[in-house]
A and B are shown apart, each in its own frame.
Chain A
């Protein structure tokens, strides 16, 4: 599975959009981009995933560049409860040998 690079930490003001970048320049054609977050002392929470197209759900939006070498997770109106470590993971499906391998992630601090 391709490696990802994320900034170690970011700050965001409450109520503003949080834009979390992720680089995955070695991504291959059948690898998906997944985003999870982990609030302190809890299990990771699934946020969103995508292959090529931009995706949106009730939690966030995922913007993938046309060359698929990078992506951005957008939390449209960050709240204090969005303070967490956000993980960007690239992998193929499990039945193709893909594993969910966590890197160091981005520690997002949402401030009042």
Chain B
């Protein structure tokens, strides 16, 4: 159980285009999902928290107009990188909070990540 998927696993796009990344909780409901970014040789950095049916909360320094997050259902959150540039090239990872286990440890489960390369 507690499987989180991401699609696509990798994507290459041209500078100036937009890219959408999907994050799905496959066998549990997730009212809260999180988006992280990881540059090579660095740790994960939390970008934003999304709650189903409400606006996402962005961490300091993360441009909300550039990284659009939608959490329309209990099993799906999307991250859209708008007008992507080479410096947006990174490993994007989502995680989901299992509501059913919220009182038993509040564990977050992570997706496999999406490698974005902007040319």
Contact = CB atoms under 8 A, between A and B. Distances in A.
A92 to B, nearest CB: 9
Interface in A66-112: 87, 93-95, 98-105
Contact of A44 (B44, B46, B115): B44
Given A103-B43, A104-B43, A93 B109 contact: no
A29 interface: no
Contact of A43 (B46, B106, B110): B110
B102 A93 contact: yes
B108 A41 contact: no
Contacts of B2: 46
Given A41-B115, A43-B4, 14 more contacts: A41-B91, A43-B111, A43-B112, A44-B93, A44-B95, A44-B110, A46-B107, A93-B106, A94-B97, A94-B106, A100-B95, A101-B46, A102-B44, A104-B43
A49 B44 contact: no
Interface residues of A, number: 23
A53 B43 CA distance: 28
B105 A42 contact: no
Contacts of B110: 36, 43-46
Interface of B: 2, 4, 6, 32, 34, 36, 43-46, 49, 91, 93, 95, 97, 102, 105-113, 115
Contacts of B91: 41
B111 to A, nearest CB: 5
A103 B109 CA distance: 17
A105 B44 CA distance: 10
B2 to A, nearest CB: 8
Contacts of B108: 46, 100
